[in-house]
Amino acid sequence: MGLRETLSKLPPYLFAEIDRKKEEVAKRVEIIDLGVGDPDLAPPPYLAESLLEALQDERVHRYPSYEGEAELRSKAVKWYEKRFGITPDDLIVLIGSKEGIAHSIFSLVDRGTRVLIATPSYPVYLNWAIMLDAEIKTAPIVVENDFLLDPEVVLEFKPDVVVLNYPSNPTTKIAPISYLKELAEVCRKVGAVILYDNAYSEIYFDEKPPSVLEVAPDIAIEFTSLSKSHNVTGWRIGFAAGEKKLVQRLLTVKKYTDSGLQIFVQKAAERMLDDEETPRANRKVYARRRKMVSEFLKRAGYDYWAGGTFFVWVRVDNGMKFAEKLLEAGVVVTPGIGMGDGGEDYIRISLTAPDEAIKEALQRWERLL
């Protein structure tokens, strides 16, 4: 017996070279980081006060429950009812949606389980499927398909699990409800379950992104997060909701892995589920930055997409080379290939830097043209 071999199958870390170069460039020019998707905006003003209040209760220093505090769960269910008009079959609290997504994959996937992953996408899905030795098919979501996974691929590959993320990081696509309905139908036909990452549900500009549970409550587990909606990536608050057996599978894995999210964090988080003002204010800021970047890209003649999320997806000749060129000028963006197949000729710009920094980045970019 040896140690786990599948770790050696993980793709090489593409950002190593960029990280090295970033250090070198930082010696001569100030770096503007439009690479990571970590909001620069302030968290809600009441948060510190809510946390201090929560700390008054002695119980908060003890082990939390595995599934989350009853009050927070019930508030999250109410949020689902108000936001999407549905009551999830089951809902649990996560230590950030990333934790839940990874453990949910673990709870569904065995060696040989057939997993269909739309790429380019958040690398957690593919890398966990690789570590678990799943039979994987990646289906590039491309502009010709309007960045939607082709339902024909589901019918052909007959997966056990389909992983989807809309609003999409990095393509910014928001899947319309009619598409999700069609996809749910083909998934039912082949007996697949849907793992749906809705972490950017509150970052939109025109139409509101739907929940997959509106059309697939019987076969889907969905992940939401307060990280981006309320600028609290460091607090680690997420939710898994959906078909009871799928949620309970995840809970089984979590019972043997973690001991839940700190009670004081959960208590302080309750107010965020009633707070629609912070996401609204965020959307206003991102809309302003999005306009700034869009005007530049339009003027410079690029094809780009900025549907939902706080990213802009830009088509260039070779994403890796382009990102290196921008880095020479001190501007960090993410080469699309870092998010998987289909991302080769793109870069991703994150709008999570102050307006002035974005403006300066665009000026540096313009000088390269």
Chain residues in the site for ligand PLP (CB under 6 A): 37, 96-98, 122, 165, 169, 197, 199, 225, 227, 233, 238
Minimum distance from residue 307 beta carbon to ligand PLP (Å): 14
Region at 308 (left for phi over 0; alpha for psi -120 to 50; beta for the rest): beta
**What is the Cα–Cα distance from 300 to 20, expressed in whole angstroms?**
29
Minimum distance from residue 119 beta carbon to ligand PLP (Å): 12
Nearer to ligand PLP, 138 or 225 (CB): 225
Nearer to ligand PLP, 80 or 122 (CB): 122
H or E stretch at 78: helix 70-84
Minimum distance from residue 264 beta carbon to ligand PLP (Å): 18
Strands (E), 277-365: 304-305, 311-315, 331-332, 334-335, 346-350
Burial of 197 (0-12, 13-18, 19+ CB in 10 A): buried
Measured over all CA atoms, what is the biggest interatomic distance in the chain, rounded to whole angstroms? 60
Nearer to ligand PLP, 296 or 311 (CB): 311
**What is the Cα–Cα distance from 292 to 294, expressed in whole angstroms?**
6
Nearer to ligand PLP, 97 or 119 (CB): 97
Cα torsion 227, 231, 234, 235: sign = negative
Minimum distance from residue 227 beta carbon to ligand PLP (Å): 3
DSSP string covering 285-302, please? Answer: HHHHHHHHHHHHHHHHT-
Burial of 51 (0-12, 13-18, 19+ CB in 10 A): middle
Nearer to ligand PLP, 189 or 208 (CB): 208
Nearer to ligand PLP, 97 or 104 (CB): 97
Nearer to ligand PLP, 171 or 365 (CB): 171
Minimum distance from residue 185 beta carbon to ligand PLP (Å): 24
Integer-rounded Cα radius of gyration of the chain: 21
Minimum distance from residue 8 beta carbon to ligand PLP (Å): 25
H or E stretch at 195: strand 193-197
Hey, what are 320's tokens?
Answer: 């890796």
Minimum distance from residue 24 beta carbon to ligand PLP (Å): 26
Which residues neighbour 296 within 8 Å (Cβ) at sequence distance 6 or greater?
362, 365, 366
